[in-house]
Structure 1
């Protein structure tokens, strides 16, 4: 069971780092990546909160090192995957994972980024543009992941992966 989760986590990290550079929503110093949110919802369903947190942290770190992300990725992605996992664990419904990601990243994560902005000297980053950027990015990623997971579920593949 642990080997499967580690394998999925490694695959999700690789996909996240590579695909996040293809679709970025830049707003000032923020580089919001809907792929991160797509991967977070997949992690919530496939590997749970702890491996999901590891994926979010490592992916954010690698994206920062490769200059395809920013420091704002850490609080947003980590809170998003945690809430998505907790919501999914509570109801075992894919929609709840997507909702958890949007609330975790789009609302809570964006508010947690404000001290990061102030700490690195970006006092001109306002709450509304930051939250709007995170909301748009997380909704886009959550919708895509919901569609992917529903297709896997309808084809009977999701149950095979989760065994």
Structure 2
């Protein structure tokens, strides 16, 4: 796709995508309020819904843009509310894997996910809905993968900067 075509698509799609994002953020905020959860808590549960085998806390933190210290407390709160279950990581016993609980699936799944599908597909016939599912699914999946790679690079860059600052502090002569 040429840069001109990309700009044309961006000009056409950006306002629509921004409007959809505003609708989604407002809906997610209402779901969080209804269930007495913070926006970060609902984002973590939503990320875990997309990962049925769970994720380590450090990866959740990167995916939702939180610090590693904050994610531990957030997961503990979600575990107290029975929205998250944590298990030892079979590959690294120092870590745990967080998984959305059956309670979360029962309480939050319908509020978080069904409305999007209803809003997007209502009014389409079966063939149109199937085509939309394939196209939107592929486009969103590819976009999420690219966004995650970018956020991982940013996270790695920030970590490297912190490590360099700490190393510089260690090397400074003490007075």
Tell me which interval the TM-score lies in, with the shorter structure as reference length: 0.3 to 0.5
Q: Compare the two structures and name the one with the higher helix fraction.
A: 1
Higher relative contact order (Cα pairs below 8 Å, separated by 6+ residues): 1
Larger radius of gyration: 2
Superposition TM-score, scaled by structure 2 size: 0.31
